[in-house]
Structure 1
Amino acid sequence: MTHVSVRRGLLYVSIAATAWGTGGAAGALLHQTGGLGPVAVSFWRFAAGAAVLLLARLLFGLGGPRHAGPLTTLRPARLTGPPTTVRRTRSTGPLAVLRRARLARRGSVFGRVLVTGVAMAVYQTAYFAAIAESGLAVATVVTIGATPVLVAAGGRLLLGERLSATGLGAVVIALTGLAMLTLGDGPAAFSAAGVGWALLSAAGYAGVTLLNRASTDEPYATATGGFVVGGLCLLPVALAQGLLPSGDPLASWAIVVYLGTVPTALAYGLFFTGLVAVRATTAAVISLVEPVGAAILGILLLGERLTPAAACGSALLLGAVALLALRERGQAAAPV
């Protein structure tokens, strides 16, 4: 079990959301320089993320057990006596209990990794489909905006996380800020199919958040396994689109390394670790700062202009995140 304080959990989730904000720009650059389709970009993101986490585990022991729990202290007793006694000890003694506990835990971890990986592949693909149908603005607002609502409902029904008036107000303020930030340039194209894909993407992301909030053992192992499963799900479509980047190979593979390291391995590892201490709804709202980071990168790197509406939306988003973070720290053991 990973032990994380509320303060550190909030920091981890905030860093993850900020890192995610750079993923869109990195993916767009990889599309431009390498000519890769969106699913192929997602495949390399998952593949590189899994490779980075596996390397970190080999070199630094990242994600390995830090403390020996009660089960790990059990040692097989010396078996003596007649054969009937030996058989009974093997089936009911400490060693048998340890084996059953290990098998149960492995089954739980495997199931969580499998569901996490499939859900990650689904929400990545559905998000790109939403962009194709409705454009980036509507896809972003519906996908990212619906996520905290779904997480709040799921957290209440499945995890018993209550949302007070303060928490509900923070969610409403955050969604208002998101709409102002993303739709600040005027009306956007609407498509029922696009909204449907965006809601599917939001449901997948909400499911990943709730699942890993409910089971917080081995977050880095979950992230690594999720990347492997998600990458395998995306591989057939990526092969059809064209798997290898074209153009300047050095630039393309450098972007792949960054995409797999910062907005994938680092971000998801920290996010899953932060969920140990932070409520699911709070984590989902903090994740809304992702478009704020993307907007700042657009201004600094791409020469984009921040409209007054987008600036106000960013301020509302950050204010809502700060409100929830302060509430979470002040009442770590009470409902938000």
Structure 2
Amino acid sequence: MNPQLAVVLAAVCFGSTGTALALGPDAATPFSAGLARIVVGGGLLGAIAWMTSDRRLPLTPVTVAWILVGALGVLAYQPAFFLGTEVNGVAVGTVVALGSAPVLTGLLEWVLTRRPPGLLWVVATIVATSGVAVLSGLFDATSAIDPVGLVGSLGAGLSYAVYTLAGKALIDRGMSSRGSMGAMFGAAAVLGAPLLLVADTAWMASVPGAATVLWLGIVTTTVAYLLFGAGLRRLRASTVSTLTLAEPLTATVLGLLVLQERLAFSSVVGLMVVAAGIAILSLGGRRQRVPATG
């Protein structure tokens, strides 16, 4: 599969998360749903990686360190993201988290690899991030931004950058894309499982609750990160991070079609700008590819 298409399809899966929660039980909380998503999806990813990947790759101290760093990034993302949206609102929290992730990924990749992102990535990231800002209604916000919420949103962006770069580092060290995603998310599932003991999980016992958990675990995590890893295997981490800005685009379209939400004119403009940024990177993506390593 074309690697750009794989990442965009992964972002489409990510973008269904909000709609799935909206259609699920009213008692479902972002904290418990986020944990269930990691435990179910991460556990399944780990099992798939164990059954299908080459297990002869030695687990060196460096490899184990990257797995743990990636797992911690996975676990840190959800609470940091929800802190930002709770304190500063969904619009500001979303645009800071999703908008900062590609930039932070590109900068960290530059530091780690000493290879600056190309001009195509810079242009596409500026365009797509601007579209996310318009789409989220950031320019309509009139309240002051709380620094605590801002730190949370930036922390979410940094967490995303960390586990994306950790996954890429594992692939570059010879691990398959399935093995990379499975190792990180499997470890995150093990670390996150005890936290379910302090979360409100009663809503999961109902049929709608179980269906919500399965969708979040299988579609938005297992399937999504298999596609994400396939793209990460052939593309730079900075490119992958920008392409996943298709997530808010998907969430908005699903809100319109499934939840029958209304779109303001600014949201329509935002959708078009995000799509333009993704198209710039996708159509010129051959210059951004790197050789397959696993």
TM exceeding 0.5: yes
> How many Å apart are 1:282 and its aligned residue?
1.2
Rounded to whole Å, the distance in 1 between the matches of 2:63 and 2:281 is 30
Larger radius of gyration: 1
Code of the aligned partner of 2:7: V
The match for 2:198 among 221, 230, 240 is 240
Q: CA deviation at 1:188?
A: 5.5
Residue aligning to 1:320: 277
* 1:266-277 mapped onto 2 (5 Å cutoff): 266-277=223-234
Q: Which residue pairs with 1:49 in the alignment?
A: 41
- The alpha-carbon deviation at position 236 of structure 1 amounts to 4.6
Question: Does 2:64 align with 1:110?
Answer: yes
2:128–2:273 contact (8 Å) kept in structure 1? yes
Identity across the alignment (%) = 27
**Whole-Å separation in 2 of the counterparts to 1:323 and 1:18:** 18
> Secondary structure at the residue paired with 1:65?
coil
**What does residue range 1-336 of structure 1 map to in structure 2 within 5 Å?**
8-30=2-24, 32=26, 35-53=27-45, 56=48, 61-62=51-52, 64-65=53-54, 103=58, 105-183=59-137, 186-187=140-141, 189=143, 190-216=145-171, 217-245=175-203, 249-330=206-287, 332=289
Question: In structure 1, what is the Cα distance between the partners aligned to 2:278 and 2:93?
Answer: 22
Relative to structure 1, the CA distance from residue 53 to residue 37 in structure 2 (aligned partners, 3 Å threshold; closer, same or farther) is same
Cα-to-partner distance string for 1:94-113 (whole Å, 9 max, x where unaligned): xxxxxxxx54x454443222
Across the aligned residues of Structure 1 and Structure 2, the Cα RMSD in angstroms comes to 2.5
- The offset of 1:232, in angstroms, is 4.0
Aligned length: 287
Aligned to 1:88: none
Give 1:230 shift: 2.4
Q: What is the deviation of 1:289?
A: 0.9
Gaps of 5+ in 2: none
Deviation at 1:267, TM superposition (A): 0.8
For residues 239-259 of structure 1, give each alpha carbon's deviation from its aligned partner in whole angstroms, at most 9, with x where no partner exists. Answer: 22323326x711111111111
Whether the 8 Å CA contact 1:49–1:264 is kept in 2: the answer is yes
Deviations, residues 162-210 of structure 1 (Å, cap 9, x unaligned): 3333332221111111111011682164211111100111111011112
Report the alpha carbon displacement of residue 57 of structure 1 after superposing the two structures with TM. 5.6
Instruction: Give 2:88's aligned amino acid.
Output: S
Deviation per residue, 1:266-290 (Å, 9 max, x gap):
1112212211111111111111110
CA distance in 2, matches of 1:333, 1:224: 22
Q: TM-score, normalised by structure 1?
A: 0.78
Contact residue 285 and residue 321 of structure 1 kept, 8 A: yes
- Secondary structure class of the residue paired with 1:210: helix
Q: Given that residues 36 and 241 in structure 1 are in contact (C-alpha distance below 8 angstroms), is that contact kept between their aligned partners in structure 2?
A: no
With over 3 angstroms needed to count, the CA separation of the structure-2 counterparts of 1:268 and 1:25, relative to structure 1, is same
Contact 2:38 2:192 in 1 (8 A): no
Q: Quick check: 1:39–1:234 contact (8 Å CA) kept in 2? A: no
Deviation, 1:235, is 4.0
Gaps in structure 1 of 5+ consecutive residues: 1-6, 67-71, 73-101
TM-score under structure 2 normalisation? 0.88
Contact 1:185 1:307 in 2 (8 A): no
**Change in 2 beyond 3 A, CA 1:180/1:130:** same
CA distance in 2, matches of 1:175, 1:165: 15
1:55 Cα deviation (Å)? 5.5
Per mean C-alpha deviation after superposition, the further-off stretch among 260-269 and 46-55 is: 46-55
Q: 2-side partners of 1:333 and 1:123: how far apart?
A: 27
Query: Could you tell which deviates more after superposition, 179-188 or 300-309?
Result: 179-188
Q: Which stretches of structure 1, 4 residues or more, deviate above 4 A after TM superposition? A: 54-58
3-state SS in 2 of match to 1:245:
helix
